[in-house]
Amino acid sequence: MGFTDHAIDRFVERAGVAGPQAVCRQELSTLCASAGVVQQQRPEWSGLLDDAPAYLVVLDWLCCPLRPGLHGATWDATTLVCRSDATWWEAYRAGWIPALPNGLQLWPEPDEFEAWQAERRAQEKAELAKRRRQRAAELRPFALAAVVLGTLALAFAGLGLDSLVAESLRDDPDVTEPQGCPRDRLRVHSCR
């Protein structure tokens, strides 16, 4: 039986355990080897929507969808769900699992685990914001060039319109030439 990195991450997150990934992998492997059963039907409590060739069900608490194994394993668990989103500690208290893990730290109370999850989400959000700022900094020179080119295009277009307006106003009796203003810069001075 193999476990994808994603399945181990879900085990840590959903079972409420902490420790090095290798220890988490070993603890999950030991638990599955001692109490896991491979079956064709997913348990109703799993909440899984996608079909898998088989499911590894550990007691009445964990369920892992399986795919044919890579790297010599018969099966690989692709993810992991816990019944009623119960952590290991909660599953133990509910009687769904007979023992606590040996080599892993448990989150004894849901509040502590939720605080850890919130901190992890905040870190992920900060990392995403950092990547967005870096991308914006990379694109800033191109945006500045686009603004400059757009301004130049408008300026050249405006010059053409100004000369057309000036020519049309030269013959207008309401347009006079203010003192000190060149002939090509006519303004509307008074209206009758």
Does 187 reside within a domain? no
**Axis-axis angle for helices 21-35, 5-15 (nearest 10):** 80
> What per-residue confidence (pLDDT) applies to 54?
94
How many folded domains does the chain comprise? Answer: 1
| Structural domain harbouring 98 | 2-107
**Helix, strand or coil for residue 178?**
coil
Does 55 reside within a domain? yes
Does 19 reside within a domain? yes
Q: Quick one: which of 113, 108, 46 has its CA closest to 77?
A: 46
Tokens representing residue 160 in the block:
């053409």
E strand or H helix at 173 = none
Does 12 reside within a domain? yes
Does 38 reside within a domain? yes
Q: Quick one: which of 45, 39, 37, 25 has its CA closest to 94?
A: 45
Q: Residue 31, exposed/middle/buried by CB under 10 A (0-12, 13-18, 19+)?
A: buried
Does 192 reside within a domain? no
> What per-residue confidence (pLDDT) applies to 189?
46
Q: What is the DSSP string of 31-85?
A: HHHHHEEEESSPPGGG---S--SEEEEETTTEEEEEEE-STT-SEEE---EEGGG
Does 68 reside within a domain? yes
Flag residues of the chain having pLDDT under 50.
Answer: 186-192
Q: Quick one: which of 122, 119, 125, 117 has its CA closest to 14?
A: 117
Identity of the residue numbered 57:
V
> What per-residue confidence (pLDDT) applies to 62?
94
> What per-residue confidence (pLDDT) applies to 192?
43
- The string of pLDDT tens digits covering residues 41-76 is 999 998 888 889 999 999 989 999 999 988 777 899
Instruction: Answer for the pair 8, 24: CB distance below 8 angstroms, yes or no.
Output: yes
> What per-residue confidence (pLDDT) applies to 102?
80
Q: Residue 20, exposed/middle/buried by CB under 10 A (0-12, 13-18, 19+)?
A: exposed
Does 93 reside within a domain? yes
What is the pTM assigned to this prediction? Answer: 0.54
